[in-house]
Structure 1
Amino acid sequence: MRMKNLISRIARALALVGAALFVAAPVSVHAASENAGMNRPSPNQPFALSSVATFEYPWAIAFLPDGRLLVTEKPGKLFIATQSGEKTEVPGMPKVYYHGQNGLLDVAVSPGFAHDHTIYFTFVEPQRGGGVLALARAQLEESGGAARLADLAIIWRQGQASTGGQPGGIIAFSPDGRYLFLTVGDRQEPKTAQDPDAARGKVLRLNLDGSTPKDNPMAAQGGVKAQTWTTGHRNPYGLAFAPDGRLWLNEMGPRGGDELNLVQVGRNYGWPIVSNGDNYSGIPIPRHSTRPEFEAPVVYWTPVIAPAGLSFCNGAMFPSWRGSAFIGGLVEKGLVRISFDGHGGAHEAERWDLGHRIRDVAVARDGAVWLIEDESEGKLLRLVPKR
């Protein structure tokens, strides 16, 4: 009898340990990843493109409430552009570390812009040893046809400088407007993506002033851990909330393995331990399927498309595309449309060859799709239904 009781207690203890391990290391619950890398561009383009303005290596676009656009140039300038192509430079931008993939990056309009006139932007800030990713906010003031930034403040920055690229730097606001999500790339130092104390290879969740939300998963631990929402990312250049409230991220893989990920709090997406691509040296990397404790991409691309900006379509101009997302392609030199099943699944629905590197995508209130080219004289393009 004593032996039976002992065996029973041991069995219950092992069951509790197993349950604890399961909770600590969640696994993906969605279907197997889709490889869309071999898909070909559609010969039919149900839209017309018009060039509105040109910029020097533009990087990001964002809409002001009145329909004008904010446009960043990687060398360090910020502009306001009207939808007819008139440009106004906004002076007062900080100096940027303009080197390779680094420079002035994303720009985003505050959820409360109507009353606070605040914008946010990311840039690589010059420091000894290279540069650090920085997040800034400022008030956009306009008068007499001129614009300027007031009360500019850096509200978050990386702790260690690097000369490497892959900075990330994409901003997204939660649907309730209370939190800011920020992508941070690995700066071409892959191992840092798995270092919990390094602000590299992460998605961070911040308050609008750059402080740490008290309900973040590791808020009590302080430092980078307290701000971390997800980890194990390589070079995330697209981040956006879908109309259903889900957060999606696209990131560049190495030689193969570009990813579209459903962002789920506390998950580890595996870089550089796993990937659906290989190192540029040719050395293979274990696939996601070999390590189920890491979250696998919903869609991946081998060969790569080099995904850049990400934006969701929810306007009336293209009713059949409502709920879809658009991804700019740098290697693909075009635009990719993603459809969603409403349950965490996604599928590449279409892609179009535009002949130019598309750095960012934004959808206007009327449903028109706006694109920016990653070139020395990059065009700001408006995409509307073909008549």
Structure 2
Amino acid sequence: MKKITLVYLSIFSFIFLSCEAQVKPNDILLKAEVKNYTLETVVSDIQIPWGMTWLPDGSMLVTEKSGILYHIKNGAKTEIKNMPKVYARGQGGLLDITLHPDYAKNGWIYITYAAEEGEGEGGNTKLIRAKLQDGGLTQIESLYKATPNSTKGQHFGSRIVFDNDGYLYFSIGERGNNKDNPQDIKRDCGKIYRLNDDGSIPKDNPFVGQIGVKEAIYTYGNRNPQGMAKHPETGEIWAHEHGPKGGDEINIIKKGVNYGWATVTYGINYDGTIMSTETERPGIEKPIYYWIPSIAPSGMTFVTSDKYPDWKGHLLVGSLVFQYLELVKLKGKEVIERQKIASDIGRVRNVMQGPDGFIYIAVEGKGILKIIPN
């Protein structure tokens, strides 16, 4: 038994050493925090705040996973009425929210959540848009609903981002189905999708016209992307996704590209068994960075504000498992440094830069916090 164990550990070590040799940025050590800021509570007592966005008057809309949409103004929160029924199970529930880039003119708000309607028992991720009037949602329009439903509680995604051309991107995790979903473009889940703002499919989407495929798909082979952001200079959409045990990734989203899950990965199964011995394969996009061990990334934002000169031009990523915010410093598309921010704050579910230039953190069990630089 001891000999078998030693052989297994040797194979395990070889695979991980090979992974580290192939993508050098993973060798970057996490620097200790330099606490040159204070944290201010914007609103408290939100159990699992997931998505957040700002209205033109500076107030916030914050989603709570159980199904409540809060309007936050001057530290007080009120519940938005007429919310759709949410399938709250495991990681599923009320997820992301964002405004249309021309919200001031058209008033559209976009929301993703786990919904029950459709084929099969359980739920799957849905995208809607609606308008806000008299404290409630009106003119609710269904834009996309992933199928089939599943009673599994894993991997609903989901983030929403608009690009510079007005296309809407949103993510759906593979729903715990590694074998069938992520590598099959005839199936939903394990994908990042691109739509026009009205929910129609852009004519130049990569798989338009192919028989039987999901034409809304923009990329595939994604595991569970819970962070997406538009690069402030290039306009590219960046995303990170959860690996299994090890192998969380940062990717730049490219049209029609396969990101490898679950045939290529830097991680292993949660029980320690090997999922794949391949960390690269022709035709599969490599990440620009990966984490071992997993930090369980959730939420991400590029810092463009002059309020944080040492952070400007870099990424902030939340960690669920290690309960901190990570500053990922960049040189172009290369990760050159990592630094811990807000140590032991709690499970960071999201991070965003507000229109006032401050960084806001959504923390489970606490609510929304603002980072005030000293």
TM-score under structure 1 normalisation? 0.85
**Higher mean C-alpha displacement, 290-299 vs 151-160:** 290-299
Q: Equivalent of 1:139, from 125, 131, 135?
A: 131
Q: 1:62 aligns with which of 53, 57, 75?
A: 53
Secondary structure of the residue that 1:168 maps to in structure 2? coil
Q: How far does the alpha carbon of each residue in 1:166-220 deviate from its partner, in whole angstroms, 9 at most, with x for none?
A: 01121000123x2100111000001210111111111111111111001112212
Verify: 1:71 aligned to 2:62, yes or no. Answer: yes
CA distance in 2, matches of 1:356, 1:333: 5
Q: Secondary structure of the residue that 2:158 maps to in structure 1? A: strand
Residues in 2 aligned to 1:185 and 1:341: alpha-carbon distance in whole angstroms: 29
* Structure 2 counterpart of 1:80: 71
Indicate the residue corresponding to 1:106 in structure 2: 96
Gaps spanning 5+ residues in structure 1: where?
1-30
Query: Kindly, what percent of the aligned residue pairs are identical?
Result: 37
Shift of 1:290: 4.1
Does the 8 A contact of 1:117 with 1:141 survive in 2?
Answer: no
* Conserved 8 A contact 1:108-1:119: yes
Q: How many residues align?
A: 346
**1:183 and 2:178 equivalent?**
no
Between structures 1 and 2, the one with greater helix share:
1
Q: Does 2:23 match 1:32?
A: yes
1:288 Cα deviation (Å)? 5.2
Which structure 2 segments of 5+ residues have no match?
Answer: 1-21
Aligned equivalent of 1:314:
304
Q: Deviations over 1:316-373 (max 9, x none)?
A: 211332221111110020101122222x323443122133000011101232100111
Residues 207, 213 of structure 2: 8 Å contact kept: no
Does 2:158 align with 1:169?
A: yes
User: Cα gap change, 1:380/1:68 in structure 2, threshold over 3 Å: closer, same or farther?
Assistant: same
1:228-259 per-position Cα deviation (integer Å, ceiling 9, x unaligned): 21110111000111112121101110011111
1:202 aligns to 2:202 (yes or no): no
Residue 193 of structure 1 aligns to a residue whose secondary structure is coil
Q: Which aligned pairs between 1:295-314 and structure 2 lie closer than 5 A?
A: 295-314=285-304
> How large is the RMSD of aligned CA atoms in angstroms?
1.8
Which of 214, 228, 232 pairs up with 2:221?
232
Question: CA 1:61 to 1:41, structure 2 compared with 1: closer, same or farther past 3 Å?
Answer: farther
- For the pair shown, which has the larger CA radius of gyration, 1 or 2? 1
Q: How much does 1:43 deviate?
A: 3.6
SS of the residue corresponding to residue 187 of structure 1 reads coil
- CA-CA distance at 1:49 after TM superposition: 0.5
Where do 1:112-131 residues align within 5 Å?
112-127=102-117, 128-131=120-123
Question: How far is the alpha carbon of 1:222 from its aligned partner?
Answer: 6.0
CA distance in 2, matches of 1:34, 1:98: 37
Aligned to 1:246: 236
Deviates more, 1:272-281 or 1:316-325: 316-325
Q: Which residue number in structure 2 is paired with residue 20 of structure 1?
A: none
- Paired residues of 1:242 and 1:323 also in contact (CA < 8 A): no
Q: 1:188 to 1:139 in 2, by over 3 A?
A: same
- 1:5-16 alignment, distance < 5 Å: none
**TM-score w.r.t. length of structure 2:** 0.88
**d(CA) in 2 for partners of 1:291 and 1:241?**
27
Match of 2:339 in 1: 350
